[in-house]
Amino acid sequence: TDFDVIKLLTELREILQQTGPSHQLLLNLPAGELIIHADSQRIEQVVINLVTNAVKYSPKADKVIIEALVINNKFKVSVQDFGIGIQPDQLDRVFSRFYRVENLASHMSGLGIGLYICQEIVNRHQGRLWVESTYGEGSTFHFEIPINTN
């Protein structure tokens, strides 16, 4: 169904803040409304998963930046953290089902399924999900979906 994705993110703010009360969540959204044809609950789930990870894997940071924008008729969301980061050889693997990077954060709870679910959802919307990261400095997860997707 059609929904306003800017409104969704605005309304999500409180829930997101609860997932990471230790961090300041900086929301950078375009003004106005943006109607997209997608499954709003699933899109919400993707954002919550990414923000939960951003908070969980940046135990020493105090902020997470969530940005949304429209580019090439696509809706793009980026979630940036300043945490442990991901080594280059692990970048692709984090989207695999049940995969978890072995590192200092391995003791943190999790099943390794959040990103796999995010990717499934984004793929089903003809979109894509990817990550950029500098080990030890932080990570940015991006996803984009076509605005007039069916």
As a whole number of angstroms, the distance between CA 28 and CA 79 comes to: 10
> Over the range 38-63, which residues count as b (16 or more CB within 10 Å of their CB) and which as e?
beeeebbebbbbbbbbbbbbbeebeb
State the binding partner of 127 from ligand ATP, Mg ion, none, CB within 5 to 8 A by kind. Answer: none
Q: How far is the CB of 141 from ligand ATP (least distance, A)?
A: 6
The amino acid that residue 13 corresponds to is R
Residues with Cβ < 8 Å from 103, sequence gap 6 or more? Answer: 84
Binding partner at 30 among ligand ATP, Mg ion, none, C-beta below 5 to 8 Å by kind: none
Select the binding partner of residue 61 from Mg ion, ligand ATP, none (C-beta < 5 to 8 A, by kind). none
Write the DSSP assignment of 121-134 as a string of letters: HHHHTT-EEEEEEE
Give the binding site for ligand ATP (CB under 6 A).
Answer: 53-54, 57, 81, 83-86, 94, 99-101, 105, 110-116, 139
- Our CB check for Mg ion shows the closer of 85 and 114 to be 114
Tell me: does residue 139 bind Mg ion (CB under 5 A): no
Q: How far is the CB of 75 from ligand ATP (least distance, A)?
A: 21
**CA of 81: how far to CAs of 12, 45, 63, 137, 138, in Å?**
18, 18, 7, 8, 5
Type of residue numbered 115: L
By a kind-dependent CB cut-off of 5 to 8 A, residue 51 interacts, out of ligand ATP, Mg ion, none, with none
Name which of 8 and 54 has its Cβ closer to ligand ATP. 54
Chain residues that interact with Mg ion, rule: CB under 5 A = 53, 114
